[in-house]
Amino acid sequence: MKWFIDSNTLKSGFIKEVEKSSSQKIAHCYQCGKCSAGCPIAYEMEYTPNQIMRMIQLGMKDVVLASNTIWLCVSCITCTARCPREIDVAEVMDVLRRFAYRSGVYPIKGRNVPLFNKVFLRNIEKYGRLFEMSLIGTFNMLSGTPFKDTSLAPKMFLRHKINLLPEKVKGIKEIRGIFKKAGKVSRAKRQSLITIGELIHNYLKR
């Protein structure tokens, strides 16, 4: 047996939380597995999409939010397009990710995606348009692989595919304002996305 679930978990109300945020009727899922059958990333996930839906139905909040499934999901939306019960599975995955951000829970394996998201968004906030050099460099550094993709760099330069300097956006203040206000409205703790402790952890794991 993998888990021991008692009635407190089953009655926990996690499914109602997720159903409310996503506007999807998760109780409708009858576990046909069509989503998992068509998911291109399922082979790498700890739990397949239908298992995540099942665990939501069973109230297993901690397991779901700590799984790497929700971070490996690429939002290819194949699951949503094919679900016979018309459940938007991709939207549910989005909602779970936002819950994870708010509670600060990340999987042991698969921290790269939350890290990538944060670096990307910081980049936009700072420059207004994506400054790819900075994105690639910062991400590779923080994820503990500073020399990844360096072989690609000269080829990209030669083909003028990489800008050495960021583009200037005049309305940058407006962008920063949006980020600030959005942060307030969604009450997301963006600052707590990654801590120094986790940074060191990443380096040690390599």
Partner 1 sequence: MESIIADKKTFKYAYFPGCSLKSTSKEYDISAREVASSLGVILKEIPDWTCCGATPAHLTMHILSIGLPVKILLQVKEMGISEVVTCCAACFSRLKFANDIMSKDQLHREMVSRVLSKKYEGEVSVRHFLDVLVNEYGIESISKKIVKPLKGLKVACYYGCLLVRPPEVTKFDDSEDPHFMDDLINVTGAEAISWPYKTECCGASHSLSNTEIVLRLSNDILRFAKESGADVVAVACPMCQSNLDLRQGEIEKRYETKINLPVLYFTQLLGLALGAESKNLGLNMHLVNPFKILQEKGLL
Partner 2 sequence: MARTGVFVCWCGTNISATVDVEKVAEAAKNFQGVRFSTTYRYMCSDPGQNIIKQAIKEYRLDRIVVAACSPSLHEKTFRKCIEESGLNPYMLEIANIREQCSWVHKNREEATDKALQIIRLASAKVLRDFPLEKKFISVEKKALVIGGGISGIQAALDIAVAGYNVVIVEREPSIGGRMARFDKTFPTLDCAACILTPKMVAVSQNGKVVLHTYSEVESVQGYVGNFDVKIRKKARSVDLKKCTGCGQCYAKCPVKVPSEFDMGLGMRKAIYVQFPQAVPNVPVIDRENCRYFTQAGKCGVCRKICPFQAVDYDQQDEIIEEKFGMIIVATGFTQFDHSVYGEYGYGKFKNVITGLHFERMVNSSGPTGGKIICPSDGRDAKDVVFISCIGSRDEQKGMPYCSRLCCMYTAKHALLLKEHNPESQAYVFYIDIRAAGKNYEEFVKKVQDEYGAIYLRGRVSRIFEKGNKLIVRGADTLSGSQIEIEADLVVLATGLIAQADAPKVAQMLRIPYDKNNLFTEAHPKLAPVETITSGIFLTGACQSPKDIPDTVATASAASVKALGLLTQEKLVREPQIARVDAVLCSGCKLCVQACPFKAIEAEEIEDRARKQKRIVAKVLEGVCTGCGVCTACCRMSAIDLDNFANRQLMAEIEVV
The binding site for partner 2 (CB under 8 A) comprises: 30-39, 42-43, 47-48, 50-51, 78, 82-86
DSSP string for residues in 165-181: SPPP-TTHHHHHHHHHH
Distance set, CA 159 to CA 167, 175, 198 (Å)? 18, 30, 36
CB of 20 to partner 2, least distance (A): 21
Q: Which is nearer to partner 2, 26 or 119 (CB)?
A: 26
CB of 149 to partner 1, least distance (A): 8
Q: Which is nearer to partner 1, 36 or 78 (CB)?
A: 78
Do residues 1 and 32 touch, judged by C-beta distance below 8 A?
Answer: no
CB of 62 to partner 1, least distance (A): 20
Report the C-alpha gap between 113 and 96 in whole angstroms: 14
Do residues 41 and 67 touch, judged by C-beta distance below 8 A?
Answer: no
Q: Which is nearer to partner 2, 6 or 86 (CB)?
A: 86
Report the C-alpha gap between 13 and 61 in whole angstroms: 9
Chosen from partner 1, partner 2, none, partner binding at 175 (C-beta under 5 to 8 Å by type):
partner 1
Q: Which of 137, 143, 148 is nearest to 115 (CA)?
A: 143
Chosen from partner 2, partner 1, none, partner binding at 138 (C-beta under 5 to 8 Å by type):
none
Report the C-alpha gap between 91 and 23 in whole angstroms: 9
Chosen from partner 2, partner 1, none, partner binding at 72 (C-beta under 5 to 8 Å by type):
partner 1
The binding site for partner 1 (CB under 8 A) comprises: 40-41, 44, 72, 74-78, 80-81, 88, 90, 94, 97-98, 101, 110, 112-113, 115-118, 120-121, 124, 128-130, 132, 135-136, 139-140, 143, 148-149, 152, 155-156, 159-163, 167, 169-171, 174-175, 178-179, 181-183, 185-186, 188, 190
- For 56, the token pair is 């939501």
Chosen from partner 1, partner 2, none, partner binding at 35 (C-beta under 5 to 8 Å by type):
partner 2
Q: Which of 57, 67, 142 is nearest to 99 (CA)?
A: 67
